[in-house]
A and B are shown apart, each in its own frame.
Chain A
Amino acid sequence: MKNLDTIKLVVASFFALMMTSCSSGFLVEEPNTSLTEEEVYSDQESLQLLVAGLYTQWRDTRKDRSALYFTMGTDEAQQGGQQVQENNVQAALDKYNGALNPTNSVIAGEWNKRWPIVSAASKAVFFAQTDQLSAEAAFLRAAVNFELAMLWGPIPIVEQGNTLEARQPLADVYNFIIRDLELAVEFLPITQSDKRFPTKGAAEALLGKVYMYAPEESNVRDYQKALEYFDLAIPKYSLLPNYGDLFNTLLDQNSSEVIYGFQFNNIEPDNNQVQHQAGSRAVADVDANTYFGGYDLAVPTEYYHTDIWVGETGDTRKAASIRENFVLPDGRVPTITWTNQPDELEPHTKKYEDIRTQGSQNFWYSGGMIYFLRLGDILLNKAECLNELGRTGEAIQLVNSTVRARAFGGTLPDENAWVNMSQDEFRDNMLDERMRELAFEGWRRMDLIRTGNLIERVSEHNPWANESGTLQPFHVRYPIPESEIKQNQAINEEDQNPGY
């Protein structure tokens, strides 16, 4: 029987081996190159880096075509002819026809890019242990929510632990934005060495804008409060003497005029690629390493490149922001390409040109600063507030002494000075003045929406909208994307903006 015992022993030890080989720790694997959500949000240093990443994500909403989508379909910019020929969905942004609908992937793409920033910023606001970090996250959430609410109308309110996924009344949305910005005004520092992060001045300027831009029906619009916040911000900045320097990438673009700017350079992935869209195809076909080449996604309307400059001889802004000469630096002369689209050699915007790329890099690498808030804009906004508050005289004085003076080289000739305008005339002139100062910088659509001029002005000055003849009042808001309606249980077909 000894033999049998040995066998029993062998079998038993084999069993033991089988069982012990399987300890439960064996089934635990950890990621080696990523942090879990808990790790990121619980560690302040990581959270700081996360918020930095969100600012980069926000910056990237200004990259490539996206930088121009909302500018298209306005009175200052229109799509190039070949772009319209090739892409029916994108063409709808100018035509306001049946293809501007909830399935429009361009509009939906812009919507989708912004919510992850809002959502992550909400978590950061909640988990941040310092007031400054919390304020940095709150500023970002407010800035993106502001843009969403201006363009789409009522939006969900994303707040950690209390997210309302259905569309919320405009008053609630704007009050939520204001609350964030008040926090930002209180806790953001006066200066930031890392230029990705906003300053106190940026929060003040943006909060002023929110009070001024908020739709009437939100009951939030308050020109007096706007004025107060602008007045807090304005003394912290000064206009550059030369308007053209704003777009000169050879200079340090974080200048005294910048309140908040999106930081780019000409090295991937920090290039903005916008010139690739805004430049001329005729130039690109001759030499793609020419800094003003591109593919004509958005070009100035005739209204912008000609009409508004009538009687404004001497305004340096025109030459600094509109390219009319397409001869290459080496003397080669481009011609209309195979597309037969004459707009290739009609005026283009200069604001995205990056001369650093000339001769050595494709214009795709263009990476000049893209402004979000700069003093020129805020001064004009302040003047508007003054005008709305019945202080038209002060408003005229402010425009003459700052923005227009700078535009005319520092001294405003008498014949170009604004005088004796009614409140209404001031409003009209201001819309043109803002175009001269700020065209292609991203504020036009919102300016038209808040002043109630989108339908009239775009029908008149945007040739695609004019030709299509389908622009209607409901188009002041973009459609809520089909992808949101299908995937968000709290937003249904009946919650769609009217008209779509």
Chain B
Amino acid sequence: MKKKYSHYRYLVLIPLMLYLRIASAQDSNSNKILVSGTVTDEQGEALIGVTVLLKGTMLGTTTDIEGNYSLKAPIDATITFSYVGFQNIEIPIDGQTEINTSLIMDTDALDEIVVVGTSLKKSDLTGSVVSVNSKTLEERPVTNINDALQGRAAGVFIQNNPTPGGYASIRIRGNNSIQYGGNPIFVVDGIIMDNDFNLINLNDVASINVLKDASATALYGSRGANGVVVVTTKKGKKGEGQLNYKTWVGFSSFINEDLTLGASDMYQLRIDALANSSIAANYFSQYPNAPKEEFINSQLIGDNSAWFADYERNSMEQGRSYDWLREVSRDQAVQQNHSASFSGGSENSSFFASFGYIDEEGLIENSSSQRITGRLNVEQSVKSNLKVGSNTAFTRLENQEVDGSVFSVARAANPLLPIGQYGDTLFLAWGDNWDINSENPLNSLNIRKDRIVNKFSSSNYIDYSPIPGLSMRTTFAVDISNQEYYEYTPRGIQQALRDSYLGRAIHNFDKTTYYQWDNSISYKSSFGKHNYTVLLATSLSRDEFNYTNLSARDFPTDNFSYYDLGGAFDKPNFNLGSDFSAATLMSYLARVNYNFDNKYFVTATARYDGSSKFAEGYKWGLFPSLALSWDMTSEGFMQSQSFFDMLKLRAGYGSVGNQTIPNFAFLSLYRPAFANETVSFNSTGLRGTEALTWESQRQLNVGIDLSMLNSRVQFTAEYFNIVNSNLLMRRTLSTLTGYNEAIENIGELTNRGFELSASAILVDKSNFKWDISANLSRDQNRVTQLFQDVDAIFNFGGFTGTEIQRTGNLFLGESLNSIYMWEFDRIIQPEDMEYVNSLQLPGKTLRPGDILPRDQQAPGEPGHGIIDEDDRVIVGTQDPKFYGGFSSRASWKGLSLNTVFTYSYGAKRISGFYEQLMAGTGFGPAHNDMLNRWSPTNTDTNIPRATYDNAARFTAGETSWGIQDASFVRLATITLSYTLPKLITNTVGVGNARIYASGNNLVTWTKYKGYDPENGDFYPTSRMLVFGADISF
């Protein structure tokens, strides 16, 4: 991907400029000539404020807004061009009067990343790495890192989470472990964090490197098996201080909440459902000659019929339809984001300080989230060979959450139920079925659920370099996260009445204290054309988690909300809970980077990791890796060509470990429980596996990096083959064992795939530039071995834990994400009935218009003619066949238009919501598809008939009929921005100003029938319009 760093051009050092202009006026010598020229970056864009000095003096100037400079200089002098973030360049004048030059990005400075316990150059990461810089991240106005990464990095699969304050999910190279540690780890300035790394201010991020293969992740081996996301925050730069302010305001709204039938269609559906039911059959057995209309009129819609409620008849008569979901959601939710940063530095020190504030409203009424962040990064050279520094950040998150039933009940509410009249009932109804579990969502909005997270993280290091090349570093980091959760359910609403309490308060406190101590010693040297770095490191960390939960019932008044636990008077129902647990890790690491003449690169790593998650004797694992690369363009035979700017081949093979399982899985544990008026010890249901040990992942990675046509076209391709063995997995057990489940090292999973990414600069004029980029990833996993000679492990679940689930089963030779169930055969037509009646069915009664599962056995095979558990098959997988993103960036003068698309193809998805909407009983919400339902006069359809007897047929979720194609293409972001001309900004004392308008999630093309092919049916898809400004001084 082509990098653009044009924003550095705006790091204009106005006062310095003035100072230098004065200095340059002091000419005193006559053998001087006037030298002038233009300074640009590699892409030819003018660089403003480049320092142009006569070497060895303080005499000089800076470039102006067009990148031009001129100065008088001795004819034999040398000019030094220097600019923050770029490599210095020196050019002897040699009598020239015009010297144009372009500066090269100082990748060393920008690409230095801090990994655990040490800092190294990005180029030393020989393996598979994708980098995303802050510029790219800033293109999408989003509030967390995962969202910003979406579609931008090959091999990184991100799924949005639409709740306020919610995090997107992230997968790197698909699934490796079966159940544990599917998430990559996040390393922020050297601190390993969990998902809450998303709490950091996106504007603090300088770069993100996603490490994908074993060689790259080897540095984090104890936890890197599912990839590593390395986040490096910004540092101050030498020179004049800077002040940046960024702000945006976004307006979001649901775009597809309206999937369900309105009042009159619903009314017709119920009539139809009842007319197709045993109710009608009973009637007609009594009155065999009655016309259908008479049944409908006399039995269903008459005033005495119990099948419709009076309020429903009234709504019908008045032609009204009620949208309860709209009633509890905001038409438009507003979010605003402010961020200010200050940075600066001198020869010996640098600092970066920032403050951020986000205020986000949720789309459901009363839900919102606020986040305050602060950061201070400092570094100081105490002596010439001793450096200390700290990266410290604080975040406070406050969420006002809404009870889940608000949304789930509202979206399933009866459109015939008048909101005004029934706005304060305890629960909602279909017909006269006032359902005690459909709590009135307007009441449920009064349940308070407040969550507060305070997070403090600080990474502090001492770096000592006694002789050149030798560096010793010790880093101590802490990450403390305290979460408080408070809930109050007021008296009088259904939740309180059903559980017979007068108000209930809950306080939950979760504390996570993590510390990490890393030490490393490295030596870098070279002899002849041999360059090498040797690194030895140790790391130890402890992750401590404890919680305290309190709940109390029955309060004298609702006025105190959750504040006064002591005021609760139902003393027998006080509930307390707590636990304290910790996990530790310890690692030794040795690593050698070697290259010959910068052509042949070798990285060899060995690490030895120990974990407290395993029993004595099983704690340690050894994980070596090796990576090779060859920069062909450095070869002599490539010097004569100019087509390739870079042609680099890479190969790596290595192993890393995974231990991301719950604590103490090697022990069978018993917990005290209070019941039957005394305490007793109960098994947790988990059988301890004493020999449990590291899951290991061996990964082969082969890649090629190409850069062509003066770097205008860049291309990277990678292939990987991962073999995960000793897979850590929770499996259900026969209860004969005395336990329900165990975590064991089971079998082997392979995961292979490839990733392609390409970018091209299509137009590169001084005023008009256009570049595009695209990436595509494919990963395919297969279970290649299970324990002993077992060829399937079933995932039992459901209410009694005895039903084979549709997902989570493991079949030899199949994907981990297979969907296993009855296969949809067809919608039954009248002429099929003879066949249907010949089948032996699991207690089902089928009629034309119902779903028929496929009998998987051919005539003559055992089981033919019977639909039972032997007819369940794999009907698809939830893995996409490929996914990725593509984007375009075009700019004309100060205007630029960026678009980012994301896509995914070929994944199947279960939509429980759609299946619920297709029940067709008329006593629950129904999808608009029901308009095209089967009937004797509409037989050419794949939508089943309506019937009140839904439980007696194969329901939408029982066969693959309801499985959805979750392929999509989404216009994730389109942003139009305008950078104000310098002439204007300078006159108002602003260095740089950019304003923009942006749309998130504007369009999605998909066949998915629930809310969203990516988020599932958690919430409807929402769209956000954003207006923002970035200003720097």
Question: Which residues of A pack against B, CB within 8 Å?
Answer: 6-7, 10-11, 14-15, 17-19, 21-22, 24, 26-29, 31-37, 39-40, 46, 49-50, 52-57, 59, 85-89, 91-92, 95, 97-103, 105-106, 108-116, 118-120, 122-123, 156, 158, 163, 165, 194, 196, 263, 265, 267-270, 284-285, 288-289, 336-340, 360-362, 364-365, 481-484, 486-488
Task: Find out whether the CB atom of B733 lies under 8 angstroms from the CB atom of A22.
Answer: no
Task: Find out whether the CB atom of A22 lies under 8 angstroms from the CB atom of B588.
Answer: yes
Task: Find out whether the CB atom of A7 lies under 8 angstroms from the CB atom of B466.
Answer: yes
Task: Find out whether the CB atom of A29 lies under 8 angstroms from the CB atom of B519.
Answer: no
B314 at the interface (CB under 8 A from A): no
Q: How far is the CB of A21 from chain B (nearest CB, A)?
A: 6
A56 in contact with B676 given A7-B466, A22-B586, A31-B664 (CB within 8 Å): yes
Task: Find out whether the CB atom of A120 lies under 8 angstroms from the CB atom of B667.
Answer: no
Task: Find out whether the CB atom of A53 lies under 8 angstroms from the CB atom of B682.
Answer: yes
Task: Find out whether the CB atom of B681 lies under 8 angstroms from the CB atom of A32.
Answer: no
A59 in contact with B676 given A27-B584, A116-B683 (CB within 8 Å): yes
Q: How far is the CB of A147 from chain B (nearest CB, A)?
A: 14
Task: Find out whether the CB atom of A27 lies under 8 angstroms from the CB atom of B611.
Answer: yes
Q: Return chain B residues, CB-CB under 8 Å to A268.
A: 573
Task: Find out whether the CB atom of A22 lies under 8 angstroms from the CB atom of B500.
Answer: no
A112 in contact with B431 given A32-B579, A88-B951, A362-B500 (CB within 8 Å): no
Query: How many B residues have CB within 8 A of the partner chain?
Result: 95
Task: Find out whether the CB atom of A35 lies under 8 angstroms from the CB atom of B951.
Answer: no
Contact among B309, B521, B800, B868 with A14 in the assembled complex (CB-CB below 8 Å): B521
Task: Find out whether the CB atom of A119 lies under 8 angstroms from the CB atom of B737.
Answer: yes
A98 in contact with B844 given A27-B584, A36-B667, A337-B433 (CB within 8 Å): yes
B612 at the interface (CB under 8 A from A): yes
Contact among B464, B537, B681, B736 with A50 in the assembled complex (CB-CB below 8 Å): B681
Alpha-carbon distance A280/B678, docked complex (angstroms): 33
Q: Return chain A residues, CB-CB under 8 Å to B436.
A: 284, 288
Task: Find out whether the CB atom of A267 lies under 8 angstroms from the CB atom of B671.
Answer: no
Alpha-carbon distance A483/B951, docked complex (angstroms): 23
Contact among B464, B584, B673 with A29 in the assembled complex (CB-CB below 8 Å): B584
Task: Find out whether the CB atom of A119 lies under 8 angstroms from the CB atom of B521.
Answer: no
State which residues 735-761 of B face A: CB under 8 Å: 735-740
Q: Return chain B residues, CB-CB under 8 Å to A196.
A: 676, 678
B307 at the interface (CB under 8 A from A): yes
B470 at the interface (CB under 8 A from A): yes
Q: How far is the CB of A284 from chain B (nearest CB, A)?
A: 8
Our count of residue pairs bridging A and B at CB distance below 8 angstroms stands at 266
Q: How far is the CB of B869 from chain A (nearest CB, A)?
A: 5
Q: Return chain B residues, CB-CB under 8 Å to A57.
A: 682
Task: Find out whether the CB atom of B670 lies under 8 angstroms from the CB atom of A109.
Answer: no
B24 at the interface (CB under 8 A from A): no
Task: Find out whether the CB atom of A98 lies under 8 angstroms from the CB atom of B681.
Answer: no
A49 in contact with B681 given A165-B736, A487-B732 (CB within 8 Å): yes
B1029 at the interface (CB under 8 A from A): no
Q: How far is the CB of B810 from chain A (nearest CB, A)?
A: 12
Residue of B nearest to A266 (CB): B500
Q: Name the residue among A35, A55, A59, A194 with the largest chain B CB count within 10 angstroms.
A: A35
Task: Find out whether the CB atom of B843 lies under 8 angstroms from the CB atom of A85.
Answer: no
> What are 28 A-B residue pairs whose CB atoms fall within 8 Å in the complex?
A11-B466, A11-B521, A14-B519, A15-B521, A24-B610, A26-B542, A29-B612, A35-B671, A36-B670, A49-B679, A49-B681, A52-B681, A53-B675, A57-B682, A88-B843, A101-B868, A111-B735, A112-B800, A114-B735, A116-B685, A116-B740, A158-B736, A268-B573, A270-B676, A270-B677, A338-B431, A338-B432, A340-B307
Q: Return chain B residues, CB-CB under 8 Å to A108.
A: 800, 802-803
Residue of B nearest to A57 (CB): B682
Task: Find out whether the CB atom of B796 lies under 8 angstroms from the CB atom of A483.
Answer: yes
Alpha-carbon distance A26/B688, docked complex (angstroms): 22
B669 at the interface (CB under 8 A from A): yes
Alpha-carbon distance A24/B614, docked complex (angstroms): 13
Contact among B466, B542, B582, B678 with A194 in the assembled complex (CB-CB below 8 Å): B678
Alpha-carbon distance A234/B625, docked complex (angstroms): 76
Q: Return chain A residues, CB-CB under 8 Å to B951.
A: 85-88, 91
Task: Find out whether the CB atom of B584 lies under 8 angstroms from the CB atom of A26.
Answer: yes
Q: Return chain A residues, CB-CB under 8 Å to B497.
A: 288, 362
Alpha-carbon distance A268/B670, docked complex (angstroms): 22
Task: Find out whether the CB atom of A483 lies under 8 angstroms from the CB atom of B667.
Answer: no
State which residues 467-517 of B face A: CB under 8 Å: 467, 470, 472, 474, 497-500, 517
Q: Binding site of A, secondary structure by majority: helix, strand, loop or mixed?
A: helix
Q: Return chain A residues, CB-CB under 8 Å to B434.
A: 285
Task: Find out whether the CB atom of A33 lies under 8 angstroms from the CB atom of B800.
Answer: no
Q: How far is the CB of B911 from chain A (nearest CB, A)?
A: 22
Q: How far is the CB of A339 from chain B (nearest CB, A)?
A: 7
Contact among A19, A36, A263, A487 with B794 in the assembled complex (CB-CB below 8 Å): A487
Task: Find out whether the CB atom of B802 lies under 8 angstroms from the CB atom of A109.
Answer: yes
State which residues 661-697 of B face A: CB under 8 Å: 663-664, 667-673, 675-685, 688
Task: Find out whether the CB atom of A40 lies under 8 angstroms from the CB atom of B676.
Answer: no
Q: How far is the CB of A290 from chain B (nearest CB, A)?
A: 13
The 6 closest A-B pairs by CB, nearest first: A109-B800, A99-B843, A119-B738, A53-B680, A108-B802, A338-B432
Residue of A nearest to B733 (CB): A487
Q: Return chain B residues, CB-CB under 8 Å to A365.
A: 500
Q: Return chain A residues, CB-CB under 8 Å to B739.
A: 116, 119
Alpha-carbon distance A394/B585, docked complex (angstroms): 76
Q: Return chain B residues, CB-CB under 8 Å to A105.
A: 798-800, 802-803
Task: Find out whether the CB atom of A31 lies under 8 angstroms from the CB atom of B663.
Answer: yes
Task: Find out whether the CB atom of A486 lies under 8 angstroms from the CB atom of B794.
Answer: yes
Task: Find out whether the CB atom of B680 lies under 8 angstroms from the CB atom of A56.
Answer: yes
Residue of B nearest to A122 (CB): B738
Residue of A nearest to B537 (CB): A18
Task: Find out whether the CB atom of A10 lies under 8 angstroms from the CB atom of B464.
Answer: yes
Task: Find out whether the CB atom of B669 lies under 8 angstroms from the CB atom of A14.
Answer: no
Q: Mark B867-878, 1 if CB is under 8 A from A, else 0.
A: 011000000000
Q: Name the residue among B611, B663, B740, B842 with the largest chain A CB count within 10 angstroms.
A: B842
Q: Return chain A residues, CB-CB under 8 Å to B799.
A: 105, 109
State which residues 569-611 of B face A: CB under 8 Å: 572-573, 578-586, 588, 610-611
Q: Mark B769-798, 1 if CB is under 8 A from A, else 0.
A: 000000000000000000000001010101
B31 at the interface (CB under 8 A from A): no
B801 at the interface (CB under 8 A from A): yes
Q: How far is the CB of A90 from chain B (nearest CB, A)?
A: 10
Alpha-carbon distance A69/B581, docked complex (angstroms): 41
Q: How far is the CB of B794 from chain A (nearest CB, A)?
A: 5
Task: Find out whether the CB atom of A98 lies under 8 angstroms from the CB atom of B843.
Answer: yes
Q: Name the residue among A17, A57, A288, A487 with the largest chain B CB count within 10 angstroms.
A: A487
Alpha-carbon distance A119/B735, docked complex (angstroms): 8
Q: Return chain A residues, CB-CB under 8 Å to B734.
A: 115, 165, 483-484, 487-488
Q: How far is the CB of A69 from chain B (nearest CB, A)?
A: 11
Alpha-carbon distance A352/B412, docked complex (angstroms): 34
B540 at the interface (CB under 8 A from A): yes
Q: How far is the CB of B217 from chain A (nearest CB, A)?
A: 21
Q: Return chain A residues, CB-CB under 8 Å to B584.
A: 26-27, 29
A362 in contact with B433 given A116-B739, A487-B732 (CB within 8 Å): no
Q: Return chain B residues, CB-CB under 8 Å to A285.
A: 434
Task: Find out whether the CB atom of A10 lies under 8 angstroms from the CB atom of B843.
Answer: no
Alpha-carbon distance A163/B667, docked complex (angstroms): 21
Task: Find out whether the CB atom of B431 lies under 8 angstroms from the CB atom of A267.
Answer: no
Alpha-carbon distance A33/B737, docked complex (angstroms): 24
Task: Find out whether the CB atom of B572 lies under 8 angstroms from the CB atom of A267.
Answer: yes
Q: Return chain B residues, CB-CB under 8 Å to A483.
A: 732, 734, 794, 796, 801-802, 804
B25 at the interface (CB under 8 A from A): no
Residue of A nearest to B664 (CB): A31
Q: Return chain B residues, CB-CB under 8 Å to A33.
A: 578-581, 671
Residue of A nearest to B802 (CB): A108
Task: Find out whether the CB atom of B610 lies under 8 angstroms from the CB atom of A27.
Answer: yes
Q: Return chain B residues, CB-CB under 8 Å to A336.
A: 306
Task: Find out whether the CB atom of B842 lies under 8 angstroms from the CB atom of A338.
Answer: no
Residue of A nearest to B685 (CB): A116
Alpha-carbon distance A110/B801, docked complex (angstroms): 10
